Amino acid sequence: MRDLLRGGAERLQVGATEFQCTPEELLSGLIETVYTMRNALLHGEVDPDPRVLACYEPAYRIVMALLRCIG
**Average pLDDT per 10 consecutive residues for the chain, totaling 71 residues:** 75 89 89 89 83 86 89 73
Rounded Cα–Cα distance for residues 49 and 13 (Å): 32
Residue 1 is predicted with a pLDDT of 62
Q: By CB neighbour count within 10 A (0-12 exposed, 13-18 middle, 19+ buried), where does 4 fall? A: buried
* Domain contains 66: yes
* Domain contains 38: yes
Alpha-carbon torsion (7, 68, 47, 42), positive or negative:
negative
* Domain contains 5: no
- Domain containing 32 equals 11-70
* Domain contains 3: no
Contact yes or no for 29/1 (Cβ under 8 A): yes
